[in-house]
Amino acid sequence: MDLKPKRTSVTENGDGGEDLALANGNDVGPLVRHAFEMGRPEGLLRQMSFVVKEKEAEIEEMCKTHYEEFILAVDELRGVLFDAEELKSQLHGDNFKLQQVGSDLLVKLEELLECYSVKKNVAEAVKISKNCVEVLELCGKCNSQVSEGQFYSALKTVDLLEKSYLQSIPLKALKVAVERRIPVIKLHIEKNVCSQVNEWMVQIRSSARNIGQTAIGRIATVRQRDDEMLEQQRKAEEQYISGAGSLAYTLDAEEFDEDSVIKFDLTPLYRACHIHDFLGIREKFREYYYTNRLLQLNSDLEISSAQPFVESYQTFFAQIAGFFMVEDRVLRTAGVLLVADQVETMWETAVAKMTSVLEEQFSSMESATHLLLVKDYVTLFGSTLRQYGHDIGTLLDVLDSSHEKYHQLLLEECRQQTVDVLGNDSYDQVLIKKESDYENVVLSFNLQTSDSMPAFPYTAPFSSMVPDVCRIVRSFIKGSVDYLSHGIGMHMNVFDVVRKYLDKFLIDVLNAVLLNTINGGNIAVPQVMQIATNIAVLERACDFFLRQAAQLCGIPCRSIERPQPDLSAKVVLKTSRDAAYIGLLNMVNKEIDKFMTAGVNWTPEETNQNGNDYIHEVIIYLHSILKPAQQILPLDAMHRVGSGVFEHISNSLVAAFSSDSVKRFNANAVINIEYDLQIIENFADEQFYSAGLGEIYNEGSFKNCLVEARQLINLLLSSQAEDFMNPDIREKSYYALDYKKVSAICDKFKDSPDGIFGSLANKNAKQSARKKSMDVLKKWLKDFS
């Protein structure tokens, strides 16, 4: 307590500087405290002793100058020294106490430091254990995901392990184990994903047929709807042109979402693609997918020999259609799994194989129906895949090039149908009992001869062969148009092609079958007569056939109504109709010849006003022929046949006189034949006028066709036969006779002596005059020749 005033005094009396700073208790205190805290008070004491000595020297020096101040300073210094000693003793005491107290604390501190070390180690161990636990949990999670098939999630877990945990795993063994298992897991996932893709490929291949059939069926429905709309439009145009209705067009537009209509699952493929992309082996998977799908396509393109193509073609094309529909969806939705060039390569492969198959199968087909069915399905197949951008031109070219083969088969099938129709025809005129039958048999083929509806029952002029043949022709036209429609015949005028084959059918098939039937010798005169009438009806029906072909080819009604070149078959049928009339006439003439060559007595002893028996048989036969001919044949044909028959009778009579088998005949034979001729002439007139030919042919009746026989009989019975030598008389009365025939016949005209009952004077006179006249004529004819 006493030191403080002294330190203050020293401060006040000093001149400042370092000595005052050292003497300042506030400055020394921290130094002393620090020294004792550091446990080194000896150094402080040494320093203080040094300072003391230094100060003593300074004091001594100063004392010399300031003695009084020096004395004060010395006193002060001694006071400080005393205080320092006292402080030292206190410090030693405090240090001892501190040592006692600090030893316990040091023990506790060591224990604390040890605890801190343990805590740190424990924390580090916990951290390591936690890291390992997380790694193990991720490994367990990965195993579970793999076992549950969650491969993408498993790969995400593996990626997390690899990027975030693998390098920080503290346990080397665990790290090595994880490092080794990661590639194994990836390979396992890759194999399992590829296995799933393989299963999907098997499943999608089995589903491709249904996919293709569904799509092709939808296209078929759309095509049918379009055809129905075109037919309705055509009928509406016809009604509008005829003034029976109004012309209205409707547009029925219906959009289809292909993906919503045809559904199939691509999830396994998407998953596999995504996983391989995640694994960084996208190109490997792309190559794997393309290779396997190409193998599947090649397998689908193989034709089984165990089943006929006509039974498997729908399955074959539906399978291929489904395949490319799947690939289109893959191309559009599976990223870059496929590229357009790969799909195009597969399509080119398929087209090449399908082209080869079609060409081979078409070449061996023997049925037009089968070929048409295949063609229709191929065009539907092509229309389906054309929607996906595929070029079907090559397929259409194959179908186009096969139209000749198809029409050959179609012609052959229609030929057989036509032969069957003619073989089954009764050749009786069709009896129609009601209006609906009339529409089906007559109006539907435009066979009516009048615009008015007839009274029923109505007997048509043709037999059942005509509507049956018309149905065959209509079926042929439709079959031809069906083959050339929907993409076929793009490089040709379809109507011209159909017309060409229609002509070919009518000429090479129908006309040929008709001529074979007529000339086959298996039918009688009434049947030939009916066939001739049928041909005339079919000839008129050619215009209907042409219009039918034009309508089915889509030619507008207004174009059909314009003048169109007639079918060549129309002229050919007309020629065949003439041939039928000729055949009919030949058959009748042959029958007549059978009657006329039997039972003629060329040297009778008396005359018979009733005529010879043969002429009555001829009359009966002609009546049985000409009577129905009036109902069947048209008037011009009736006139032609009748004229030919009676002209043949006339020629037969003349030929009978000229025949080598007749060596001589007498006047009674001539008179009897004259009676025969009268009978046939009367019958000829009756038939001519009863048939209604008198109003059309004014030049004369059938009787005029017997003119040669009449003039010959007149000449043989004339008492002035020498008049034949007069050109004027011969031109007027005997113009139909050939003098050579007359000469040969007159040589055979030799009357025998009178019989028992033939001695009348006038008769003898006539015979004598006729004989003289005939002798003159004979002489002249010999001289003339």
DSSP secondary structure letter of residue 507 = I
Within 10 A of 655 (CB to CB), how many other CB atoms are there? 16
Q: Render the burial of 327-362: b for 16+ CB within 10 Å, e for the rest.
A: bbbbbeebeebbeeebbeebbeebbebbeebbeebb
Computed from CA positions of residues 157, 163, 166, 170, in that sequence, does the dihedral angle turn out positive or negative? negative
pLDDT (tens digit per residue) in 508-553: 999 999 999 888 878 888 888 889 889 989 998 998 898 888 888 8
The CATH classification of domain 405-549, taken from the options 1.10.760.10, 3.40.50.800, 1.10.357.30, 1.20.1740.10:
1.10.357.30
Residue type, 218: R
User: Helix 309-333 vs helix 172-242: angle between axes, to the nearest 10 degrees?
Assistant: 120
Any residues with CB less than 8 A from the CB of 21 and at least 6 apart, and which?
27
Using 70 as the pLDDT threshold, list the residues of the chain that sit under it: 1-27, 63, 66, 70, 234-262, 487-492, 556-565, 597-599, 751-767, 784-785
Per the prediction, the chain carries an average pLDDT of: 82
* E strand or H helix at 431: strand 429-432
User: Residue ranges per domain, the chain?
Assistant: 197-237+261-390, 405-549, 598-753+766-784
The CATH classification of domain 598-753+766-784, taken from the options 1.10.1760, 1.10.8, 1.10.357, 3.90.1070:
1.10.357
**CB-based contacts of 412-417 (< 8 A; 24+ apart in sequence):** 412/368, 413/367, 413/368, 413/369, 414/472, 414/473, 414/475, 414/476, 414/505, 414/509, 415/509, 415/513, 417/472
pLDDT at 32: 77
Rg of the Cα atoms in the chain: 66
Instruction: Tell me if 405-549 shares its fold with 598-753+766-784.
Output: yes
Any residues with CB less than 8 A from the CB of 399 and at least 6 apart, and which?
358, 375, 378, 379, 487, 488
**CB-based contacts of 394-398 (< 8 A; 24+ apart in sequence):** 394/351, 394/355, 395/351, 395/354, 395/355, 395/358, 396/487, 396/488, 396/490, 398/355, 398/358, 398/359, 398/362
Q: Report CA-CA distances (Å) from 648 to 529, 717, 719.
A: 18, 22, 28
pLDDT (tens digit per residue) in 436-487: 999 999 988 888 887 788 888 888 888 999 999 999 999 999 999 988 887 6
CB 745 within 8 A of CB 712: yes
pLDDT at 81: 84
